[in-house]
Every structure is written in structure tokens, then in C-alpha cells.
């Protein structure tokens, strides 16, 4: 059988950076995974839109943000992986509205809101990752989530159309957004409210202390591994099933917070995913509950 033709020569010309066979291991917080068949970092929104308009429909596109809530499988990701670069990291404050680029780090937005005396966005300081990733999964922490603060978002559809989508059209639900996976968030408008800067600062300090005390923040890990089932907490189910500290190769269920998986140094993506599935199986056996992955998993096995 003949080997498949290289993908890069079949792709539209771009103004941004586009490369073949780019390792993704160091782009994810777990530090695991294979390569992108092609990695594209658009020069700007129009560059991305034009690329999508001319991209053959049969070539898949995967959107990758900061990699904080992602396992890239060891065989890498086929097709085109799109990552937004520094141009898409921006923050603009106008009264109670903050317009932010999709590649902007959540915690930076929280700090800018604090600087401008805007309350209601403190929870972003406790969410690892970028605004685009937060929109993609309606990320939340400490009693708030994206759906509570998003006014609207600017997106590029898979066919290259750029349009604004309202909060209602985003289809937010618990750790879910209704926008197709191959659409790219470009920016969003978030609504804060005028507040007391000292109170905002104190709340963010409380969040920081709580994260440090309860989560394995200084390890190779992602966000919460599994979504909380209705009326239950995933970590309690995992602990009750005897999974705290469980290991698979160099992957481990965190002793500090058992809804976090850790790469202790030389884990593979397969180690992490197998460990996660083992946890799911043990929780199902013990409690009859099907835990659902909150960590996104992309690509193919080795």
C-alpha cells in the first residue's frame, strides 16, 4: 500500500506560520502526546477565515488552546491543528465590559478586571487555560462559570464565515458549549460590574490559596479530569472507589485531589487515558455512576 501523500502541499497558502509534523508534547500541561500532522498559527482573523474557506472539507481541523485541559494521544493529531498566537491575546476595558482575545490567559483577564475595579470575574483566576478554551467547555470554578459573564463571542466557522454569537446561541450547559468543535473562537465580550477593588483583590487571594491548598498545581496535570455528576462530586466517588493514589505506568491519581491525574515525569498519553478509564470502571462498579471525561482527548493512539 502506498503511503498517504504529505498534507502540507495540499493546503491553502497562508500569511501565518504553517509547519508539518510539529511535536505537541510541550504545548500541553500534561507534557504527553504525539505530533500535529500540520500546525497552523494564523497571522490574524482574516488569514484564518481565508484558510478555512479554501480548506478541503475532508481534511479535519482541531483547535488547540493552551493545552491545560487536554490529552493529546501518543499517535498525534491528523489533519490541521490550529493554535492562535500572540495577536489574539488582548484585553480592552470599556466601563463594565471587557473585550478579550481568545488566546488570552483567564487569570490575566481576572487581574485586569481587578485593576479596573470590576467584580464578577474573580473566578477566572482559578481556571487554568485561555478564554477560548473556557468558552469551549463553559469552564467554571468557585461558584461561577463562563455562561454567567459572556455577552457574546466572535467565531470563525469551519467554512470561513466570521460572525458574532450571543450567549443564548452559544448553548451553554454544565461544562458544555453548543458550538461545533471545528469552529474557532476569536474573542469574547464579558460583563463585569463596578465593585470595590479591595474586596475583589481579597476574593482572588482566597481563590489562589484554595487552589494551592487543594489542587496539585505544581505538577504535570490538567484541570479536573471528570465532570461532577448530577448532585454528586466526582472526587468523592473516586475516593470511595479506592482510587486515590492509583497508578498506571508513570501516571497517577493525585493524592491531594483525586479528580486530578498527574504525569509523574515519564507517563505517556496512553498511561493517563488508561488510568482514567480504570477510575471510571471502578466508580461504575462501586457507585453505579458513569463518570464523564472533562479533560478533552484528541488524536490517535501510538
CB-CB contact of 138 with 146 (8 Å): yes
Residues with Cβ within 8 Å of 176's Cβ and at least 6 positions away in sequence, in order, are: 137, 138
Q: Which of 224, 252, 254, 273 is catalytic?
A: 224
Is residue 177 within 8 A of residue 155, CB to CB? The reply is no
Q: How far apart are CA 15 and CA 13, in angstroms?
A: 7
Per the CB < 8 A criterion, the answer to whether 263 and 295 are in contact is no
- The catalytically annotated residue of 175, 189, 211, 296 is 175
CA angle 166, 188, 175 (to 5 degrees): 75
Q: Of 37, 111, 294, 296, which is the active-site residue? A: 294
175 as an active site residue: the answer is: yes
Active site residue 224: yes
Strands (E), 102-225: 118-119, 140-141, 144-145, 150-156, 162-166, 184-191, 193-194, 220-221
Residue 294 annotated in active site: yes
Q: What is the DSSP string of 282-293?
A: HHHHHH-----B
* Catalytic positions, written as ranges: 175, 224, 294
Amino acid at each position: 500500500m502506498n503511503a498517504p501523500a504529505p498534507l502540507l502541499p495540499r493546503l491553502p497558502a497562508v500569511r501565518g506560520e504553517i509547519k508539518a509534523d510539529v511535536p505537541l508534547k510541550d504545548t500541553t500541561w500534561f507534557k504527553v502526546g504525539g505530533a500535529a500532522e500540520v500546525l497552523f498559527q494564523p497571522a490574524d482573523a482574516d488569514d484564518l477565515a481565508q484558510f478555512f474557506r479554501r480548506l478541503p472539507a475532508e481534511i479535519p481541523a482541531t483547535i488547540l488552546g493552551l493545552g491545560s485541559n487536554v490529552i493529546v494521544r501518543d499517535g498525534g493529531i491528523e489533519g490541521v491543528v490550529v493554535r492562535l498566537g500572540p495577536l489574539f491575546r488582548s484585553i480592552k476595558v470599556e466601563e463594565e465590559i471587557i473585550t478579550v482575545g481568545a488566546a488570552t490567559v483567564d487569570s490575566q483577564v481576572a487581574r485586569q478586571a481587578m485593576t479596573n475595579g470590576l467584580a464578577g470575574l474573580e473566578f477566572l483566576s482559578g481556571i487554568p487555560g485561555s478564554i477560548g478554551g473556557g468558552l469551549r467547555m463553559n469552564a467554571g470554578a468557585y461558584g461561577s462559570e463562563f455562561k454567567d459573564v459572556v455577552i457574546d463571542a466572535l467565531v470563525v466557522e469551519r467554512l470561513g464565515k466570521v460572525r458574532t454569537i450571543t450567549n443564548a446561541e452559544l448553548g451553554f450547559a454544565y461544562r458544555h458549549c453548543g458550538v461545533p468543535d471545528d469552529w474557532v473562537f476569536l474573542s469574547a465580550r464579558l460583563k463585569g460590574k463596578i465593585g470595590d477593588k479591595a474586596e475583589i483583590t481579597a476574593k482572588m487571594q482566597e481563590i489562589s490559596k484554595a487552589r494551592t491548598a487543594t489542587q496539585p498545581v505544581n505538577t504535570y496535570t490538567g484541570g479536573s479530569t471528570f465532570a461532577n455528576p448530577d448532585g454528586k462530586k466526582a472526587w468523592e466517588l473516586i475516593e470511595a472507589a479506592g482510587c486515590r493514589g492509583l497508578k498506571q505506568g508513570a501516571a497517577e491519581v493525585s493524592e491531594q485531589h483525586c479528580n486530578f491525574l498527574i504525569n509523574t515525569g515519564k507517563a505517556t498519553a496512553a498511561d493517563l487515558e488508561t488510568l482514567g478509564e480504570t477510575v471510571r470502571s471502578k466508580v461504575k462498579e462501586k457507585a453505579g455512576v458513569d463518570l464523564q471525561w472533562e479533560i478533552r482527548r484528541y488524536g490517535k493512539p501510538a
